[in-house]
């Protein structure tokens, strides 16, 4: 993995918290910030990343509504199968449509 340098303009409170984290972790500030960003950014297929990022901004009530949504055993199996397939290879247009339908219907 290659490194890339960027310039960030951060609130002083964010910098202070990151410095404290770096001190406690006994690592350089840049390494602490990289670790923090890697932990909060979704490591998922590109088509799911936007969905995961969107979910970070949902209220607790909205997240609970999604979590409480129920799916039949057959639909759960279909979702699991499509997700596993997607991890191994690109989905066919029909498979992708099925996955998107399940996500739409169940708050994903």
Q: What percent of the chain has pLDDT over 70?
A: 95
What pLDDT, on a 0 to 100 scale, did the predictor assign at position 107? 58
- Nearest of 105, 36, 37 to residue 72 by alpha carbon: 105
Confidence of residue 33 (pLDDT cuts 50, 70, 90): very high
What pLDDT, on a 0 to 100 scale, did the predictor assign at position 74? 87
Range scoring the smallest mean pLDDT among 21-30, 58-67, 86-95: 58-67
- Nearest of 70, 103, 73 to residue 86 by alpha carbon: 103
pLDDT tens readout for residues 80-95: 888 888 888 888 999 9
pTM of structure: 0.45
């Amino acid at each position: 993995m290659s490194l890339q340098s960027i310039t960030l303009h951060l609130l002083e409170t964010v910098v202070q918290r990151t410095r404290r984290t770096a001190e406690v972790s006994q690592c350089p500030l840049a390494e602490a910030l990289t670790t923090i960003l890697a932990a909060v950014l979704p490591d998922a297929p590109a088509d799911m990343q936007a969905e995961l990022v969107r979910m970070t901004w949902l209220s607790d009530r909205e997240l609970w509504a999604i979590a409480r949504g129920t799916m039949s055993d057959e639909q759960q199996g279909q979702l699991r199968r499509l997700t596993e397939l997607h991890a191994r290879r690109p989905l066919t247009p029909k498979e992708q449509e099925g996955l998107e339908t399940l996500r739409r219907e169940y708050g994903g």
